[in-house]
Structure 1
Amino acid sequence: MGLKRMDNVGIVVEDLGGAIDFFRELGLELEGRATIEGEWAGRVTGLDGQRVEIAMLRTPDGHSRLELSRFLAPPVIADHRNAPVNALGYLRVMFAVDDIDETLERLRRRGAQLVGDVVRYQDSYRLCYLRGPEGLLIGLAQELG
C-alpha cells in the first residue's frame, strides 16, 4: 500500500492564540484545540513528560492542515524561527491565495513583514515570502490567468 496523503504540517509557537489569529486571518479554519499529554504521547515523540497545547487549522478546501503546538513541558530547547531561507531544515509553508496584495495588507495588520519583494514568475504566479507570527516564514502564491 502506498502513500495516501499528507495530513498536516506542525509548527511550534510560543503564542498559540496569536498564531491562531494570524492563520485565521490568512483564511484557515480552526478545527479544534486540545492538550496532548500522557505516556503514549511521549512514546511517539521521544519526550518524556510531554504536555502540549495544540490547535488544528484546515485550509478552506479541506485538503491540508496546519498543527500549531505550544509546549508546556518539557521546555523548548531550540529556536529556528528567524533562520534565513537557505538554512537547513524547515523552510516555509506556501499558501495559494486569490489576491496576494489584499492578503498581504490583511496580514500586515497582524504584524507580517515582507521578506523581499512580490515577484512575477513568468505568466504563471505572483509570489512572495513574509515573516508571520514569531518570525515564521510563510510563502504566498497567486496564480495568474
Structure 2
Amino acid sequence: MSVLRMDNVGVVVTDLDEAVAFFGALGLEEEGRATVAGPDVDRLVGLDGVRCDMAVVRTPDGYGRLELMRFESPSSPVGDPGAAVNVLGIRRVMFAVTDLAETVERLRGHGAEPVGDVVTFGAHTLAYLRGPGGILVALAQEGG
C-alpha cells in the first residue's frame, strides 16, 4: 500500500488573514503559520524566487486540513475567481455542518455569497458558497 492518508488541500489566496478568518468563522482552527523560501522550495515547486506565507487550518476533528498560501513572489497569475463549478481542476471543498442556515449566515458576514439555491438531496441539505478570492465551499447538513 502506498497511500496512508490525505494530509491537506492547498489553496492559493490573495489575502491570507481574510482566508484564515473566513475558515475560522466556518469552524476550522488555525494550526500554524510559516513562511517558506529558498532554493529547496524553488526546486520543489518548479518556480524561481519563491517566497510564500502559509497558514494551515484544520477541522475540529483534527483530520481535515487546508493549507492556505499567499505567494509574495513570484506573483500569482490572475485566475477567474468567478469560475463555475464545472471548470476543470479542483473546484470546491465540502464540509459537514450541524446547522446549514446559521452557517450560511455566519459566512455571509465574512463576504461569502451563495452560488445557487439551498437544495435537499436524499438525506442531505446542501449549499454552495463563494468565499474569499472565489474559493468555492460546499456545506452539507445531514438529515435536512
Q: Does 1:61 align with 2:61?
A: yes
Residues 71-105 of structure 1: per-residue CA shift (max 9 Å, x gap): 00111123142210111112100011011001001
Runs of 4+ aligned structure 1 residues displaced above 2 Å come to none
Please name the residue that 2:48 is paired with: 48
Question: Superposed, which structure 2 residues align to 1:76-91 within 5 Å?
Answer: 76-91=76-91
Partner of 2:74: 74
Question: What is the CA–CA distance in structure 1 between the aligned matches of 2:73 and 2:108, rounded to whole Å?
Answer: 32
- 1:37 — aligned with what? 37
For these two proteins, the number of residue pairs brought into alignment is 144
Q: Secondary structure at the match of 1:86?
A: coil
Q: How does 1:1-145 map to 2 (within 5 A)?
A: 1-122=1-122, 124-144=123-143
TM-score computed with the length of structure 1 as normaliser: 0.96
In 2, the alpha carbon distance for the partners of 1:79 and 1:2 equals 33
Residues in 1 aligned to 2:15 and 2:2: alpha-carbon distance in whole angstroms: 37
Q: Secondary structure at the match of 2:22?
A: helix
Cα distance, 1:45 vs. partner?
0.5
Instruction: Return the alpha-carbon distance in structure 2 between the equivalents of residues 40 and 82 of structure 1.
Output: 33
- 2 CA distance for matches of 1:98 and 1:112? 18
Q: Which region of structure 1 is more displaced relative to structure 2, 77-86 or 52-61?
A: 77-86
Q: Normalising by the residue count of structure 2, what TM-score does the alignment of the two structures yield?
A: 0.96
CA contact (8 A) 1:81 1:137 kept: no
Structure 2: segments with no counterpart, 5+ residues:
none
How many angstroms apart in 2 are the aligned matches of 1:23 and 1:41?
26
**Structure 1: 5+ residue runs without aligned partners?**
none
Q: Which amino acid aligns with 1:63?
A: Y
Contact kept, 8 Å, 1:127 with 1:140, in 2: the verdict is yes
Between the aligned partners of 1:45 and 1:51, the Cα distance in structure 2 is 11
One-letter identity of the residue aligned with 1:99: D
Q: CA deviation at 1:2?
A: 2.4
Q: Secondary structure at the match of 2:7?
A: coil
Aligned equivalents of 1:33, 1:80: Cα separation in 2: 26
Q: Which range moved further: 14-23 or 77-86?
A: 77-86
Aligned-partner Cα distance in 2 for 1:91–1:75: 21
